[in-house]
Structure 1
Amino acid sequence: MGRVRAAIVCLLALAAAGCSTIGAQRVGIDRDDYTERLRDSEKEQLLSNIVAMRYGDAPLFLSVASVISQYTRESSGGLNLKFSPPSDAETGGVSGAVLLRESPTVTYTPLSGERFTRSLLSPMPPGSLLAMMEAGWASDYLLRIAVRSINGVRNTSRAELFAQAGDLEFEAVAAAMRRLQGSGALNLRLHAQEHGVAGVAQVAPHPAPAQLADIELLKRLLGVKFDGEQVRVVFAARPTAPGELAISTRSMFEVLGEMAQGVDLTGGGEFSADALVRVHSGTSRPAQAHVAVQHRGRWFWIEADDVRSKQVFLLAQVMLSLSDEADAARAPLVTIPAG
């Protein structure tokens, strides 16, 4: 009878497996898996659009609106016993199976119409740019990527649709503002007003000698008197009144177009010194890459050890999210049945 008891125990185990819940066991696993894949997918989509723009194609973004993961578990078992010859030499068999099936459903929303205009064609929200500087994001990176001009001092734009010759003073202004920001001698911030928010800039009242040199440089190149008083920040190509700091921002379409100038189409590995990112290309998939996509039969990627390109790419991801001011439906909704 020992085999009979063992067979019955096996059947009971199969029945228990079929009746127990799997939802709670999958929560952590599914969350990590979907988080990792969604993050990689966002990076690949952004790089794919940058490469497409280098070829002259229009960008196309698909937002993940929802992810629904449904699990089905099925179990079956069978018992076949034979008691002849005598039961102490019984023959027979036991069989069983447990099947776990996942059926994910992913919903995508194309970026088009008004959202396309607001997110890609309109100038970046100036308040978002100042808020990032106020939070400590490197101002020189932000200025080089997202700004067309500061008080008429122009940034270089190499994308043909937005081409403009840059002023040599722009790099000096960006570097000086970064040094002052890092030392705490320059504060750029937002404050609430009756009809929205306004930006102000202010320097420390008693700067150190090295900081004073950068302040004098900004006063000379921008024509703004940084004398401890708050300077009003306006969002325009040029100041409309004395003492204003005028900042003109790029659209995300222009930002992506500028980044596309750093795509190597031939695989030669040669890049302009002022390229925002360096995107390599080749006929085979790279072994180590921060992000890689295939386009028109070639592989394009950002090297895993290219810190500067990775930082610019990260900033582009953040700014693209900030420029999309759609409602909460923009965020992916991940539904995993837990019962």
Structure 2
Amino acid sequence: MAGAALLVAVAAALGGCASIGPQRMGIDRSDYATHLRETNKEQLLLNIVAMRYGDAPLFLEVSSVISQYTREGSLHADIALGPPVDEADGGIGGSVLLRETPTITYTPLAGDRFARSLLSPIPPAALLGMIESGWSADILFKLATRSINGISNGGRDPLFAHTADSDFDRVIAVMGRLQRNRALQLHVEHEDGRKFSASARISPTLSDDEKADIDYLVRTLKLPGDRRGEFGIAFGAAQIAPDQLTIGTRSMFEIFAEMAQGVEVPAGDDDGRAGTPVADAGAPSALVAIHSGSRKPADAHVAVRYRGRWFWIDGKDAASKRMFLLAQILLSLNDTSGGASAPLVTIPTG
């Protein structure tokens, strides 16, 4: 009787109708999200380091993930048929095997999408839209702009090298301070698809410090002196009209090239293998600090292995982590392919 009961129990377990999918959904969703996020960070850092060594960036995007589960079971019974019959002469057993067979599809970023995502200037509407929604103007302008009304951000990478103007850092610091105090507000109005208009409005009520900041911007950026005015925003390398704020944006390729100047070049690779930044007293400081060493650190925000060495961003370096995060977001915004690159994760739930 005990053997028969065990047989029934094993058969019920093997033939049960409980679905695998719902049990796995929470685990799979968390695991895939974690690994997609980490591998995206690693891929971006690897490309930045590779560009420091003169290699072209190469992005392999995860276009789909299909995780298929199968449940396999087996049941066996050994029963003595001849007398005398003893339960010890027979046995009942079974096993259940849960098998996962994921299929991951990668799509290289190439052709028109490569040109739009990496070589085209960042869409001005995307950049200003972020500032309008509260992102710090000074941090975004430091990373993503080449100039404001002809005041140059400067660049250290030989491909994009240009001398920085001494006023640039103060200009963006003042704009960030006025933005946080709501003394200077940006407004972006989308007309359709790509067309938009943008303006910057000065608050009618200003403190003495804010008035001093506005006076500095008006004088340095050659804007009209009427503090009650509203300035239009245009895009280009130099100021287009007296009542306009003209902003030149970088491409993602240029941003990555500038970030690559923050790579700590190992001893022995400073003979030209890792390139040489432009030696300019007015060159801007590195956007990120990327360390190198023979071993992978335990507390890295992101770490990759390249040319036999480890490169990483320190987990405690808040400024570098912030710039790295913005680069990830801007890369996503700069892809105007209509979401074709978004990974599709399919997990069975029935």
- Output the TM-score relative to the length of structure 2: 0.91
Which range is displaced more, 75-84 or 158-167?
75-84
Given that residues 74 and 98 in structure 1 are in contact (C-alpha distance below 8 angstroms), is that contact kept between their aligned partners in structure 2? yes
Higher helix share: 1
**Structure 2, unaligned stretches of length 5 or more?**
269-282
Q: SS where residue 131 of structure 1 aligns?
A: helix
**Deviation, structure 1 residue 316:** 0.2
Determine the structure 1 residue equivalent to 2:321: 310
CA distance in 2, matches of 1:193, 1:327: 18
Determine the structure 1 residue equivalent to 2:241: 241
Q: SS where residue 241 of structure 1 aligns?
A: coil
Residues 1:261 and 2:272 are matched in the alignment: no
**Deviation, structure 1 residue 5:** 3.0
CA distance in 2, matches of 1:24, 1:62: 30
Determine the structure 2 residue equivalent to 1:204: 203
Given that residues 14 and 76 in structure 1 are in contact (C-alpha distance below 8 angstroms), is that contact kept between their aligned partners in structure 2? no
Given that residues 152 and 237 in structure 1 are in contact (C-alpha distance below 8 angstroms), is that contact kept between their aligned partners in structure 2? yes
Given that residues 152 and 165 in structure 2 are in contact (C-alpha distance below 8 angstroms), is that contact kept between their aligned partners in structure 1? yes
Determine the structure 1 residue equivalent to 2:219: 220
**Deviation, structure 1 residue 205:** 0.6
Q: SS where residue 14 of structure 2 aligns?
A: helix
Q: SS where residue 162 of structure 1 aligns?
A: coil
Specify which of 317, 320, 327 is matched with residue 331 of structure 2. 320
Residues 1:287 and 2:298 are matched in the alignment: yes
Determine the structure 2 residue equivalent to 1:55: 53
Residues 1:36 and 2:34 are matched in the alignment: yes
CA distance in 1, matches of 2:332, 2:25: 26
Determine the structure 1 residue equivalent to 2:341: 330
Q: SS where residue 79 of structure 2 aligns?
A: strand
Q: In percent, how many aligned pairs have the same letter?
A: 52
Which range is displaced more, 185-194 or 286-295?
185-194
- RMSD, aligned CA: 1.8
Determine the structure 2 residue equivalent to 1:159: 157
Q: Which amino acid aligns with 2:61?
A: S
Determine the structure 2 residue equivalent to 1:169: 167
**Deviation, structure 1 residue 9:** 3.3
Question: Which runs of structure 2 are paired with 1:179-198 in the superposition (5 Å)?
Answer: 179-193=177-191, 196-198=195-197
**Deviation, structure 1 residue 15:** 2.2
Question: Which runs of structure 2 are paired with 1:6-25 in the superposition (5 Å)?
Answer: 6-17=5-16, 19-25=17-23
CA deviations 1:179-211 (Å, max 9, x no partner) are 001111011120134782111001101111111
**Deviation, structure 1 residue 64:** 1.0
Q: SS where residue 161 of structure 1 aligns?
A: coil
CA distance in 2, matches of 1:143, 1:267: 33
CA deviations 1:216-237 (Å, max 9, x no partner) are 1101110112522210000011
**Structure 1, unaligned stretches of length 5 or more?**
none
**Cα 1:178–1:75, aligned 2, differ >3 Å: closer, same or farther?**
same
Q: Which amino acid aligns with 1:253?
A: F
Given that residues 119 and 324 in structure 1 are in contact (C-alpha distance below 8 angstroms), is that contact kept between their aligned partners in structure 2? yes
**Deviation, structure 1 residue 68:** 0.6
**Deviation, structure 1 residue 267:** 7.0
CA deviations 1:6-41 (Å, max 9, x no partner) are 432342243235x43201111111111111100001
Q: Which amino acid aligns with 1:224?
A: L
CA distance in 2, matches of 1:203, 1:228: 6
CA distance in 2, matches of 1:38, 1:89: 54
Given that residues 287 and 320 in structure 2 are in contact (C-alpha distance below 8 angstroms), is that contact kept between their aligned partners in structure 1? yes
Given that residues 14 and 75 in structure 1 are in contact (C-alpha distance below 8 angstroms), is that contact kept between their aligned partners in structure 2? no
Q: SS where residue 58 of structure 2 aligns?
A: coil
Q: Which amino acid aligns with 1:326?
A: S
Determine the structure 2 residue equivalent to 1:143: 141
**Deviation, structure 1 residue 88:** 6.0
Q: SS where residue 47 of structure 1 aligns?
A: helix
Determine the structure 2 residue equivalent to 1:251: 251
CA distance in 1, matches of 2:256, 2:112: 19
Given that residues 64 and 107 in structure 1 are in contact (C-alpha distance below 8 angstroms), is that contact kept between their aligned partners in structure 2? yes
Given that residues 80 and 86 in structure 2 are in contact (C-alpha distance below 8 angstroms), is that contact kept between their aligned partners in structure 1? no
CA distance in 2, matches of 1:20, 1:68: 21
CA deviations 1:51-97 (Å, max 9, x no partner) are 00000110011111111111111000111122655456552111211
CA distance in 2, matches of 1:243, 1:161: 32
CA deviations 1:225-251 (Å, max 9, x no partner) are 252221000001112221110000000
Determine the structure 2 residue equivalent to 1:111: 109
Displaced runs of 4 or more, over 3 A: 83-90, 192-195
**Cα 1:42–1:91, aligned 2, differ >3 Å: closer, same or farther?**
same
Given that residues 267 and 281 in structure 1 are in contact (C-alpha distance below 8 angstroms), is that contact kept between their aligned partners in structure 2? no
CA distance in 2, matches of 1:89, 1:191: 83
Specify which of 94, 97, 104 is matched with residue 96 of structure 1. 94
Specify which of 285, 297, 305 is matched with residue 308 of structure 2. 297
